[in-house]
A and B are shown apart, each in its own frame.
Chain A
Amino acid sequence: MIRFENVGMRYSMGPEVLRDINLHLSPGSFHFLTGPTGAGKSSLLKLLALSHRPSRGLLTLFGQEVSHLEREDLPDFRRKIGVVFQEFRLMDHLSAFENVALPLRIANSDEDLIQKNVKELLNWVGLGNQMKARPPTLSGGEKQRVAIARAIINRPQLLIADEPTGSMDPEMGLRLMHLFQELNKLGTTVVIATHDIEMIRRFGHPVMYLEDSTLHTTTPDSYLARFEGM
């Protein structure tokens, strides 16, 4: 479903922030992405989210090589990808309902379907009574759940989350992770960027870690073994 072959990435004429990335994510898999700050996690997520193109190598998403995509094809591809940003990036002047409905409105979905799906999803993430609330009046956890609902309202095949539990207490973080697990069980491929070793230990999903701008894939046990005795 997602394949990186010798992918490199740089910003403008700067140095390569990602080098020789080789990666394969099969449909319905769940991966953690980790690594020290500045290792290139956000850059890798940008490639996955079709926010940037690789500067070299081949990146194949949903069976299509990205460099061959026409600009007008990008929106349809992006609708297959859900992105949860670290800082939520909700629109403060829109209600929780309107924020979640936005991807459907942009895709010109039927209004009845929008009403039904958005209400259903907000209830599912536990925000059924906060539909009219605007983001500034919501707590960090509630905002994060609105952001997740917005990311999955289009039923994406790939869900990317950048430090989704970074700004919330452990209990709320855990609840969110269970939410991602449920989505994964429904067939969504999930990639979560995190620094949280405890989370990696608890959920036991394969780990991709970035070191010196290159990516390594390993089992959670092998990855955690690196920290033993520290």
Chain B
Amino acid sequence: MKFSLLSKPTELQLEKDASSKYLPVVIAAMVFLASLALIGLFSINSAISDWSGAISGNLTVEIAYDKDGDMEQRTNDTVAFLKKVPGINEVRAISSAEAANLLEPFLGRPDVIESLPLPRLVEVTVDENSALDLLATATQLENTVPGAHLNTHRPWLDKMLLLARSIQFLAAAIMFLISMVTIVIIIFAARTGMVMHHDIIEVLHLIGARDGYIAKQFQDYFARLSLFGAVPGLIIAIIVMQFFNYLASRLEAGLIQPPTMVLEGWLALAMLPLLVAILTTVTVRWIVLSSLKRMM
């Protein structure tokens, strides 16, 4: 590979070093993993937002069966109460017959089910943009209609959120780990390069080169290597994401959604090669300057 194609020839012929020859391959692998972690991070974020929106948008009120109470009246009271609450778009009571039909696959004949002591259900649709306080509404409803309970799905959603946040934390930790490993590899390659070019570095020093002049040759070369590795790594990761997208969309399962990326996610992915190049530049400059300080 000729990395000198995009640069003017320098005194230190770093492109001839065996130590850094395979650095683009390593960087490509690291960027590939980092991209997947980033895609995971943003996809889960997007999924959380979707679940949260879907679950908090569609609620159910459950009115517990009471053999002494008028279930029809309680259902009507519930509907009337909820219709008055600002932020609720739609309230629909599910009739006993409708509920029996829903339960038919599990419990058998609808006419028998209707005679069972089943709770009554009311379907509620909340305006997505409303600032409705679900907990306060649930408490008010319970005080107004005996046995009525607004199911906000909160405990289930909380568990899902915890799981999602844990996976996000793991993805962030993986990215951090990848960054650290990349830095260590770059430090090793830069140090090896310095040892290999010690004589030329000494000549450059003795003819008046400043440390920054020498460091620039290292940092430019390593930044170029990083870009040569990072761009293919990112492209492969995007191809893999699209492949998973295709597989997930074929599952047609509600909860397992294809990885969806928001604009911020795409921007973060696009920035990744640039960030790797910057990280490489800063690391190499730091390591070269600190090594040069040990020389006179």
Interface set of A (CB-CB < 8 Å, partner B) = 49-53, 71-72, 74-76, 78-79, 81, 83, 85, 89, 91, 93-94, 102-103, 106-107, 150, 154
Contact = CB atoms under 8 A, between A and B. Distances in A.
Contacts of A75: 205, 208-210
Nearest to B210: A75
Contacts of B208: 75-76, 78-79, 103, 106-107, 154
Contact of B206 (A72, A76, A78, A107): A78
Nearest to B12: A91
A71 B207 contact: no
| 6 tightest A-B CB contacts, nearest first | A79-B208, A103-B207, A75-B208, A106-B209, A78-B208, A75-B210
B207 A106 contact: yes
Question: By CB atoms of chain A within 10 A, which of B11, B205, B207, B210 has the most?
Answer: B207
Given A72-B210, A76-B208, A103-B208, A50 B200 contact: no
A85 B203 CA distance: 9
Contacts of B9: 93-94
Interface in B1-33: 9, 11, 13
Contacts of A103: 207-208
10 contacts: A49-B206, A51-B202, A51-B205, A51-B296, A52-B296, A78-B207, A91-B11, A91-B203, A106-B207, A107-B208
Contacts of A93: 9, 13
B209 A89 contact: no
Contacts of A71: 211, 293
A78 B203 CA distance: 11
A85 B199 CA distance: 11
Nearest to A85: B203
Given A51-B202, A89-B199, A102 B207 contact: yes
Nearest to A46: B296
Contact of A74 (B199, B202, B213, B296): B296
B268 interface: no
B204 interface: yes
Nearest to B11: A91
Contacts of B211: 71
Contacts of B213: 106
Given A74-B296, A91-B200, A150 B210 contact: no
A5 to B, nearest CB: 19
Contacts of B209: 75, 106
A154 B208 CA distance: 10
Range of interface residues on B (Cβ < 8 Å)? 10 to 19
A81 to B, nearest CB: 8
A98 to B, nearest CB: 9
Contacts of A76: 208
A94 B205 CA distance: 17
Given A51-B206, A89-B203, A106-B210, 20 more contacts: A49-B206, A50-B296, A51-B296, A72-B210, A74-B205, A75-B209, A75-B210, A78-B208, A79-B207, A79-B208, A83-B206, A83-B207, A91-B203, A93-B9, A93-B13, A94-B11, A106-B207, A106-B209, A107-B208, A154-B207
A101 B87 CA distance: 78
A102 B202 CA distance: 14
A110 to B, nearest CB: 16
A195 B195 CA distance: 31
Contacts of A51: 202, 205-206, 296
Interface in B257-296: 293, 296
Interface in B209-226: 209-211, 213
Contacts of A94: 9, 11
B207 to A, nearest CB: 4
Nearest to A87: B199
Question: By CB atoms of chain B within 10 A, which of A50, A106, A154 has the most?
Answer: A106
Contacts of A79: 207-208
A81 B207 CA distance: 8
B51 to A, nearest CB: 58
Nearest to B16: A93
Nearest to B207: A103
B196 to A, nearest CB: 14
